[in-house]
Amino acid sequence: MKDSRPNFNSDDKDKSPADGSVKDGGYELKGRVWIEGPSGTFLGYGRAVLLERIREYGSISEAARSMGMSYRHAWELVDSMNREAKAPLVETATGGKGGGGARLTSDGEAAIESFWGLHARFKEFLKNEMENLII
């Protein structure tokens, strides 16, 4: 689903951008959705983009760089997702020629797919609401 993949705004690293918005006159309806796990944030827009980039680059550091994010921050997000998930979303291999790589597990693939489905339906919700909103 690359064509519909949202752009990540690297100027806005510390908070996820709004998940969707629809303009009507001067007004926009905006919103965000995210999933919290047993002890903190599990999955939201920025984390889903990070998982996609890890799939694309096979590396947490290259995924982080592509998003203008520090390796440390990306690593912490991956660690947080792996801890909150029922089974890890990302597997890492350390050492070896060329250093360690990272790849998504099948649970990671499923989490991305599930989140983008939710995200698409949420955008549709906002679109419908905007059409009926009286402001």
Rounded least distance, CB 32 to its own copies, Å: 5
50 binds its own copies (CB under 8 A): no
Q: Could you tell me which stretch among 33-41, 58-66, 70-78, 98-106 binds its own copies (CB under 8 A)?
A: 33-41
CB-CB neighbours of 87 under 10 Å: 10
Answer for the pair 130, 29: CB distance below 8 angstroms, yes or no: yes
**Residue 22 vs residues 55, 62, 91: alpha-carbon distances, Å:** 30, 32, 37
Residue among 72 and 86 whose Cβ is closer to its own copies: 86
Residue among 42 and 64 whose Cβ is closer to its own copies: 42
Task: For residues 50 and 53, give the distance between their C-alpha atoms in angstroms, rounded to a whole number.
Answer: 5
**Residue 96 vs residues 38, 93, 99, 123, 124: alpha-carbon distances, Å:** 35, 8, 5, 43, 46
129 binds its own copies (CB under 8 A): yes
Window 60-79: contact mask with its own copies (x via CB under 8 A): --------------------
Strand partners, 24: 27
Q: Applying CB under 8 A, which of residues 27, 93, 99, 103 lies at the interface with its own copies? A: 27
Task: Give contact residues for its own copies (rule: CB under 8 A).
Answer: 21, 26-38, 42-43, 85-86, 110-111, 114, 118, 121-122, 125-126, 129, 133-135
